[in-house]
A and B are shown apart, each in its own frame.
Chain A
Amino acid sequence: DAKTTQPPSMDCAEGRAANLPCNHSTISGNEYVYWYRQIHSQGPQYIIHGLKNNETNEMASLIITEDRKSSTLILPHATLRDTAVYYCIGYYNQGGKLIFGQGTELSVKP
């Protein structure tokens, strides 16, 4: 399973886009990039995942570079409720494990 690197913390103004980067230079060709977030005192919440192509759902967009060595999670209009720890995980879904790092603590400020 790929090791990922994320900044420990980020701030974002409410209503602006939050762009959370993740480096995963050791990711293999069959490992997905998964994003989860964890709001204080809650379990991790699935956000989005992708393999090669950019992905979008009702929560966020995931932009993966062509060489797959990094990705960016985009929350288009951050709200105070998006304040959480965001985890980027390289995951081989044919028997791999979700290995959580330290994540990025995103603070959305009014």
Chain B
Amino acid sequence: EAGVAQSPRYKIIEKRQSVAFWCNPISGHATLYWYQQILGQGPKLLIQFQNNGVVDDSQLPKDRFSAERLKGVDSTLKIQPAKLEDSAVYLCASSLGLQYTQYFGPGTRLTVL
């Protein structure tokens, strides 16, 4: 069974530029999560989708971050404009449903210069 796919794996941008990350969850998984992991810390949930609806985006900095999952499968996380403090690994996870185990992708490492 294929795991959660993410791209790109690495991205370097300058501050004030925009960037987008893509996630393809495990086939059949209805719930999709985006996490931010700053160096030396554990992952922190940014947003959670159930199919194509948002369940929880309370930790998403909505002035610069946006995410969508239009057809209930793939998802895109965007940052516009990026700040230096956005340098982190962005992790996508998926699960069969809200009450099931989450499985993580390899992450995208973002460096903002």
Contact = CB atoms under 8 A, between A and B. Distances in A.
B30 interface: no
A49 B101 contact: yes
User: Which of B103, B104, B106 has most A Cβ within 10 Å?
Assistant: B104
Interface of B: 4, 41-45, 48, 56, 91, 93, 98-107, 109
A contact patch SS:
loop
Contacts of A36: 104
A46 B102 contact: yes
Contact of B102 (A42, A94, A98, A102): A98
Interface string A70-110: 00000000000000000100000111011111110000000
Contact of B98 (A41, A44, A95): A95
Contact of B45 (A45, A95, A98): A98
A108 B98 CA distance: 34
A40 to B, nearest CB: 11
Given A44-B104, A97-B56, A103 B42 contact: yes
B105 A43 contact: yes
B98 A102 contact: no
B104 A45 contact: yes
Nearest to B97: A93
A102 B106 contact: no
Contacts of A100: 41-44
A99 B100 CA distance: 15
Contacts of A99: 45
A72 B56 CA distance: 31
10 contacts: A36-B104, A43-B107, A44-B91, A46-B102, A93-B98, A94-B99, A97-B48, A100-B44, A101-B42, A102-B42
